[in-house]
Copies of this chain bind each other. A is one copy, B any other.
Amino acid sequence: MSTDLMPNRYRPGEATLSPREEALIARRDNVLGASYRLQYRRPVHFIRGEGMWLYDPDGRPYLDFYNNVPSLGHCHPEVNAAMADQAGRISANTRYLEPRLVDYAERLVATFPSEINRVVFTCTGSESNDLALRIARFASGNEGVIVSGHAYHGTSAAVAAVSPNLGDAVMLSPNVRMIALPGPAGVPQAEAAAFFEAQVRAAIVDLKRRGIGVAALLIDTIFSSDGVWVDPPGFIAGGVDAVREAGGLLIADEVQPGFGRTGSHMWGFERHGVVPDLVTLGKPMGNGFPIGAVVGRHAPMDRFGNTARYSNTFAGNTIGIATADAVLTILQRDKIAQNALAMGLRLRAGLEDVARQQSGIQAIRNAGLFFGVQMGRDGMDPAGRRAMALDVVNALRDDGVLVSTTGANEDALKVRPPLICQAEHVDAFVTAVKRALTTVGARAAGGWVTRTRQP
């Protein structure tokens, strides 16, 4: 596959920048090197954030419909106050007795089904998935891992090796198997569950024929890097049963769908009516403070904890705990998930209206405030759809609205606003999408022109 893995990025010469920006980018490239890619054809620079808005050095506001780390909005004053207050008192590590650590751990596990009652803290979603894989392999005695075809689970060596989304240059583990998802394969919803289960069973057989047992089915419960595939609820259940029959565990990667983003539930797996063995958390847990966790059933967690030595210097330190505790308090007190559900319905209705009025939107997939909006028009080939999605994203950026792309072909808009967004923001976003489709459609009248240069 030669698809550009990050189409929505800055390429020198593709946009006119100010001399100050050019100079900063040159210094940046020199010291940070090639790993650091800038988003958008014309990179953005913000000096202030507040709620749904980011402001550039000229004071121009950008409506943020992309960043899912600050779920409660940028620079939330209560969250920041909790962080600063704790930083001024003490930041103890987890080898000291600390009631706040225990209090928060109890509050966190209380948001899960009762079978899930243990937590180990980490600092990032990658650390969470890496640790969950270690626990699953330890508990099952097996090495095999099953993931979706374009899964992304993080950056550590072990997790990158089960993340096909990273592309051909990043070696996959010989113990990983990728499965097709029913949605992208075009399977009708009524057959989705059977299709998914058959895929999982085939992967188990393939692993076994090579002498590899199954440690885990590892899935992002909203399949975000595959393009956001959410329906029908429950379609993963048969596959989960198959993995358990084979001695493996279900690891639900809730780094993106968790903490209320799906609206109907606190955790994405709940939409599917399954109870995982291990659940991994990250991004919005501290509204920006680096904190994550593995939450799970006691049997695998205890088996690992009693045998292997594990400790993580920064994880569970009191500043991170105080910050995450404030986030959870606000999520529950302000009924943030309920808001995500209501705003998700409003956004869906608004985008459906646009789709009826204008060409360009081929499908809208969402749960709560996580959307994959499929770009394209009849007869367009994959390269055309990808180019169109990229043009729409950049037209929105030029119009002061932030989103990006997702999916195997990077041809869907990835829309994940902070969960505090209100009707006015949703309506402004819908209007901006309408405007972007008009701009981009006019520009491409008479056939889509691929404006992306190859990498």
Complex Cα distance, B163 from A309, in Å, reads 11
- Which residues of chain A in 317-352 are interfacial with respect to chain B, using CB atoms and an 8 Å cutoff? 317, 319-320
Q: Which residues of B contact A119 (CB under 8 A)?
A: 31-32
A384 in contact (CB, < 8 A): no
| Chain B residues with CB below 8 A from A95, complex form | 9, 36-39
User: Are B298 and A39 in contact, CB atoms less than 8 angstroms apart?
Assistant: no
- B102 x A307 contact (CB < 8 A): no
Question: How far is B89's CA from A92's CA once the two chains are assembled, in angstroms?
Answer: 26
Residue A431 CB within 8 A of the other chain: no
Interface contact A102-B313, CB-CB below 8 Å: no
Q: Is A96 in contact with B39, judged by CB distance below 8 angstroms? A: yes
Within 8 A of B (CB), among A65-90: 67, 69-70, 74-75, 77, 80, 83-84, 87-90
Separation of A291 and B160 alpha carbons in the complex (Å): 20
A317 to B75, CA, bound (A): 13
Task: Spot the interface stretch: A130-138, A198-206, A270-278.
Answer: A130-138
Q: Contact: A126 with B33, CB < 8 Å?
A: no
Q: For residues 276 through 325 of chain A, which have their beta carbon under 8 Å from a beta carbon of chain B?
A: 282-283, 288-291, 298, 301-302, 304-315, 317, 319-320
Whether A125 lies near B313 (C-beta < 8 A) is yes
| Contacts of A81-115 to chain B: CB distance below 8 A | 83-84, 87-99, 101-102, 105-106, 109
CB distance from A277 to the nearest CB of B (A): 14
Contact of A123 among B118, B306, B314 (CB under 8 A): B314
Closest Cβ–Cβ distance, residue A344 to chain B (whole Å): 23
* C-alpha gap A167/B315 in the complex (Å): 22
Q: Are B27 and A106 in contact (CB under 8 A)?
A: yes
A286 CA to B5 CA, complexed, in Å: 32
Q: What's the least CB distance linking A89 to chain B, in Å?
A: 6
A interface majority secondary structure: mixed
Which residues on B sit within 8 Å (CB–CB) of A125?
A: 313
Residues from chain B with Cβ under 8 Å of A45 in the complex: 96-98
Provide the residues of chain B in CB contact with A302, threshold 8 Å. Answer: 33-34
Report yes or no: B118 in contact with A32, Cβ–Cβ below 8 A. Answer: yes
* Contact assessment for B157 and A157 in the assembled complex, using a CB-CB cutoff below 8 Å: yes
Report the minimum CB–CB distance from A203 to chain B (whole Å): 21
Is there contact, CB below 8 Å, between B87 and A31? no
Contact A313 B158 (CB under 8 A): no
Docked complex Cα distance between A314 and B38 (Å): 15
Per the bound structure, the CA–CA distance linking A214 and B6 in Å amounts to 32
Q: Which of A47-55, A186-194, A409-417 touches B?
A: A47-55
Contacts of A96 in B (CB 8 A): 38-39, 43-46
B residues in contact with A310, CB < 8 Å: 35, 155
Give Cα distance in the complex from A243 to B366, angstroms: 52
Q: Which residue of B lies closest to A307 (CB)?
A: B169
Chain B residues closer than 8 Å to A298, beta-carbon distance:
33
Residues from chain B with Cβ under 8 Å of A94 in the complex: 32, 36
Question: Which chain B residue has the least Cβ–Cβ distance from A282?
Answer: B313
Known: A84-B87, A97-B21. Contact between A31 and B109, CB under 8 A? Answer: yes
**In-complex Cβ contact of A31 among B27, B105, B283 (8 A):** B105
> When A and B form their complex, which 5 residue pairs have the shortest distance between CB atoms, in order from nearest?
A34-B305, A157-B158, A35-B305, A45-B97, A290-B314
Query: Given A5-B309, A32-B119, A83-B84, list of 18 further CB < 8 A pairs?
Result: A24-B102, A27-B106, A28-B102, A31-B106, A31-B119, A32-B102, A33-B302, A36-B95, A44-B96, A45-B96, A45-B97, A48-B89, A126-B312, A131-B155, A134-B157, A156-B156, A166-B309, A169-B308
Q: List 16 A-B contacts (CB under 8 A).
A: A24-B99, A33-B118, A35-B305, A36-B94, A49-B91, A54-B90, A69-B93, A75-B90, A77-B88, A124-B127, A127-B127, A130-B156, A134-B160, A158-B158, A169-B309, A288-B314
